[in-house]
Structure 1
C-alpha cells in the first residue's frame, strides 16, 4: 500500500525521489539549516525592497494630494491603488528570484550560504525551471515543505531542481 493510500493527507510529493546519486567531488544537497538561512536572508532582502517601493508609491500619492488614514490606507485614492500597495511584494519576489536564479544560479541568501540551484543533472536550471520554482513559492506553506524527510521543498520538487552546497 502506498503512502498516499495510508494517509490521504500526505503531500503529493511524499514519494518524490531524493537527489540522484552523484560521482565523488560533485555538489551535495544543502542541509535544512542552510535552506532555512536562505529563506531567512532572502525574505529580509525582499521585505526591505518591498517596503522601499511601498514608501516611494506612498510619497507619490501624498505628492498627488491623497491623504493616508491612521492605518496607512489612502481612503480617497481609487481602490486599485491600495491593492497595488498591499500586493507589491508578489511581483518583487518573482522578479528577485527569477533574475538572480537565472543570472547567477543563486539568490543573495544562497550566495551568502554557499549554495546554488541546479537541475537533476547538476547543471544550471533552465528558464522554465526557474520560473516554475519562483511561482511555486507562493503555494501556501511551501516555505515549510523543505523541512520534510527529503529536504526538498515543493518549489524544488515541482520544478525538478535541487539546492546544493557549492
Structure 2
C-alpha cells in the first residue's frame, strides 16, 4: 500500500496543517502511530532540517539520546525533565503541530540563537538542540530547585546584596 488504506488518504492535512500522524504523536497514541507509519504516513520534516550532513549544527543532539521514560512536565507541556547521557536536563519541545505556525518556529529559532550566545553563571547552560528531526527541542541545564520566579514568590524579595 502506498499512502492509502482502503482508499483513504494516509497523510491528509487539516486546516491547521496537522496530519493524523502528528496528532497521534502529540497525544502519545503509540498504537495509532505504528499503524499510520506501517501504511506509509510520513513525519513532517523539521523546519530547520538540512539536506547536507556537513550543514548539521555542532550543537545537534540525537533525539534518541534523550530518555523521557520518567519524564515530568515542568511547565504546561512545553518543558519536561529528561535524562541525557546520565544527567537530568530540561527540554523545551516544539511539536509537529506547531511547525506550520511561522511565529512559533521563528521564536524557537530566536531562542536557540540566544541560548548559543549566553554564557553566564546565573543563566541556565545551553547543552544542545534537536533540529534535524521532530519534535525539535532545546536542551538546557536542569535546576532541581526551580526557577527565579518561583524562588521570588517564596521569598517575596531579595536583599540588595543578594540581588
Instruction: Report TM bin, short chain.
Output: under 0.3
- Taking structure 2 as the reference length, the TM-score comes to 0.22
1 or 2 for the larger relative contact order (CA 8 Å, sep ≥6)? 1
Normalized per residue, which structure has more strand? Answer: 2
Normalized per residue, which structure has more helix? Answer: 1
